[in-house]
Amino acid sequence: MPIYNHEKQESMKILHIRNIANVAYNLSIQQKDMGHQVVVLDIIKNYTSEKVDISLDLPMKYSKKDLFNRFKIISANLLQVVHDGDFDVFHLHDAGIFPKDIDIPIFFKRYGKVVVHWHGSKLRNHGRTFGSKFADAEIVSTPDLLEYAPDAIWIPNIIPWHGLSKINRNDDRIIIGHAPTNRVYKGTKYFLEAMDQLKKKYPNVECLLIENKPHKEAMQLLQTCDIVVDSVDVLGWYGVLTNEVQQMGIPCCTWIKPGLKPYLEEPSGIVNVTKDNLKQRLEELILDENLRKNLGGNGRKYVEKVHNNKVICEKLLTVYDRVI
């Protein structure tokens, strides 16, 4: 893919819809630094989200009787934002808002170009929707999603440098953390089963399960960990959590599907685990401090290289430039 030359391109007006895993927020920071006018609109109340430009703070779960009022609120606010913004690009995270993403052809395409950015479960569970097929371009945040959207482009998530490091506690405890946003998708039951066995064998091992915490608080808790488990036997690729932990110099365990290993640049510092070997791999890390340090160092270098903010943002802007 040709690299975008932002010095030769006029400022673009970009609207991001949804802030899944803070990807839209993180992109907007870099895009604004590059001179573009960017707005992030989130729909639901999101405890893991950084502060976005506009949030409707609607509940994630709702009943059928609330459906009409919910769509009315979304429509009124969306119309106002779009009419006021005169956007060049609509960057739709996990596609549109309404059923079958019908809002892409009947609304968004009337006002600008549409880039659909797939992040996970919606595409895995339902495939490409009717409306998403009208997008001008599609990208995926993890390579496993290319199976469901083969014409999409994989652009790794942008990971801002948070400046946090592992806290050296100066004690004998080994704290193993896990911070699922969804227990099923993260294989939490396998993590808890392995931890029950390890805690019986090693009295100094502690389990830290982080759930329903604001992003900043979750990061502070993860700093206290010696090892972190991201996902086991479900998704097949690492998530944003892995990269945030890697920045801290902490080894992270997650499952990488065999077919996706060519996409993983080594040394990545990632410990590839399955439900069958999780206990064994964690035990190896518990017993070997040098191994933990080496993996942590490799992980930090991996994020700096593969998830470099500027390089990734330039790749994304090249996609925008191609469709405008």
Question: What is the phi/psi pair of residue 116, to 5°?
Answer: -95, 130
Q: How much is the pLDDT for 285?
A: 98
Has residue 146 got a pLDDT over 70? yes
At 279-321, the pLDDT tens digits run 999 999 999 999 999 999 999 999 999 999 899 999 999 999 9
CA distance linking residue 175 with residue 170, whole number of Å: 12
- pLDDT, tens digit (0-9, with 9 covering 90-100), for 214-259: 889 999 999 999 999 999 998 899 998 999 999 999 999 999 999 9
Q: Which domains does the chain have, with CATH numbers?
A: 13-157+308-323 (3.40.50.2000), 174-306 (3.40.50.2000)
Check whether 5 has a pLDDT greater than 70: no
Hey, what are 197's tokens? 């066995």
Nearest to 245 by CA among 257, 261, 228, 260: 228
Closest CA to 90 of 19, 40, 140: 40
Say if CB 240 and CB 157 are below 8 A apart: yes
CA distance 35 to 23: 19
Instruction: Output the pLDDT for position 9.
Output: 60
Q: Quick one: pLDDT band at residue 205, thresholds 50, 70, 90?
A: very high
At 159 the pLDDT is 87
The model carries a pTM of 0.85
pLDDT band at 38; cut points 50, 70, 90: very high
269 by Cβ neighbours in 10 Å (0-12 / 13-18 / 19+) ranks as: buried
Whether the link from the prior residue into 267 is cis, omega within 30° of 0, is yes
